[in-house]
Amino acid sequence: MDGCHSHGLTARWQCRSGRGPSAAALAKPGGPVQLAAMICESEITFAGNHLDRADHLRADAAAMARLLADPSSRVSPFWHGQPLFDLGAQGPRLAWLSSADPLIAEGPEPAVFLGLDAGGIAHFAVDVSHLAQPDDTPAELPDSRIFIELRTVMAEMDHAETGIAAAAKGIFEWRRAHRFCAGCGGRNAVSHGGWRARCAACGREHFPRVDPVVIMLVLDGDRVLLGRQAAWPERMYSLLAGFIEPGETIEDAVRREVSEESGIRVGAVRYLTSQPWPFPASLMLGCAGRAESRRITVDPHEMEDAIWIGKAEIAEALEGRNDRIVPARPGAIARTILQAWVENRVPGFD
């Protein structure tokens, strides 16, 4: 994907070291120009999960039970897909309880083993949706502790916790949609530390699925292509995006989706970054693409509007100073890519 392997290695080096080549070196012919296109994992909400997922422990039911019962282990409750948060001066933080806590003790749903931290402490998540219906209050909680929809607070969370929350959210969404076997219709039973499901009738195993989605920074010089859907908030525009279809490469999907939604032809495509998006099960694949045409023809079944907009105006919008458009919310990969482009960390196309 346009030299993505060397790009990734050098980008990771600069992220970790905080150092990089000078502007002169970047501009020098034959120099490491790939470093100019750099979006670090620390900028991507839900990326960089620091837990060791420890797959070798998942199949050991006795080990799972022992770790869950360990008083030092940490358990994150989820209620109808919403994590429990502690609210404090530092912002919303995942509430970690012990498995003996009354809120989660004796729940009907098996726990999800999320992994081990650097100190060997086990982390789990438990679905406590049985406590109340979605329109009720799940339990009496302190004023500083509340279940919150993950999307509404993702940009305020500690980055180290966002990847953990995304993993748990994604598994619970998968469980909700796959309670029955796709082969015979029998009921599935959770296994392997919460990461698999086995049909009780035919024995077929089911694994969590991830749906790849391309999201693209389509460039025409210093202009970018943005679109909006009718259901979005007023004036909100974002990067075009769409699901990858069977038999497509990432590049093919970028070109097809942009053509279908806006009528714009795309030539060269580069990979930029990715983001887990557990709403319910997407992996966003951020790319840059070079526009080969400029006349927009919107498909009204796909989008309400599409526009070309300049880099200076995008910079204003990201700072909340533009009366024409509002960019994607903080925490969304579209906003992160646009921010990197405005800061000249994503190079254009010759």
Q: Quick: pLDDT tens for 112-139.
A: 999 999 999 999 999 999 999 999 988 7
Q: What is the pLDDT of residue 159?
A: 95
Q: Quick: pLDDT tens for 299-338.
A: 999 899 999 999 999 999 999 999 999 999 999 999 999 9
| Euclidean distance between CA atoms 302 and 232, whole angstroms | 13
Res 32 pLDDT > 90? no
Res 17 pLDDT > 80? no
Q: What is the pLDDT of residue 250?
A: 98
Q: Which of 216, 292, 209 is nearest to 250 (CA)?
A: 216
258 touches 216 (CB < 8 A): yes
| Euclidean distance between CA atoms 206 and 280, whole angstroms | 17
Q: What is the pTM of this model?
A: 0.88
CA distances for 42 relative to 47, 331, 337, angstroms: 7, 11, 13
Q: What is the pLDDT of residue 25?
A: 38
Quick check: helix, strand or coil at residue 147? strand
Give the CATH number of domain 210-342; options: 2.60.40.790, 3.90.79.10, 3.40.50.300, 3.40.50.1820. Answer: 3.90.79.10
Q: Quick: pLDDT tens for 162-179.
A: 999 999 999 999 999 999
Q: Mean pLDDT throughout 221-247? A: 97
**Token pair belonging to 309:** 């907009």
Q: Which of 193, 150, 146 is nearest to 173 (CA)?
A: 150
Q: Quick: pLDDT tens for 47-73.
A: 999 999 999 999 999 999 999 999 999
Q: Quick: pLDDT tens for 137-154.
A: 887 888 899 999 999 999
Residues carrying CATH 3.90.79.10, the chain: 210-342
With a pLDDT cut of 70, the percent of the chain lying above it is: 89
CA dihedral sign, ordered 33, 16, 338, 268: positive
* C-alpha dihedral (119, 124, 125, 130), degrees to nearest 10: -140
Q: Which of 190, 199, 264, 260 is nearest to 225 (CA)?
A: 264
Q: Mean pLDDT throughout 197-223? A: 97
Q: What is the pLDDT of residue 192?
A: 97
Res 2 pLDDT > 60? no
With a pLDDT cut of 90, the percent of the chain lying above it is: 85
- Residue 244 is given by DSSP the state P
Q: Mean pLDDT throughout 189-196? A: 97
Q: Mean pLDDT throughout 148-161? A: 96
- Residue 35 is given by DSSP the state G
Q: Which of 195, 283, 199 is nearest to 241 (CA)?
A: 283
**Token pair belonging to 24:** 């002169």
Q: What is the pLDDT of residue 305?
A: 97
Pairing of strands 145-147, 82-88: antiparallel
Q: What is the pLDDT of residue 18?
A: 42
pLDDT band at 265 (very low <50, low <70, confident <90, very high): very high
Q: What are phi and psi of 290, to 5 degrees?
A: -90, 125
Res 28 pLDDT > 50? no
| Lowest-pLDDT choice from 32-36, 39-43, 82-86, 228-232 | 32-36
User: What does pLDDT average to over the chain?
Assistant: 90
Give the CATH number of domain 55-177; options: 3.40.1010, 3.40.640, 3.90.79, 2.30.30. Answer: 3.90.79
**Token pair belonging to 82:** 């919403």
Q: What is the pLDDT of residue 310?
A: 97
Q: Mean pLDDT throughout 254-276? A: 97
Q: What is the pLDDT of residue 15?
A: 54
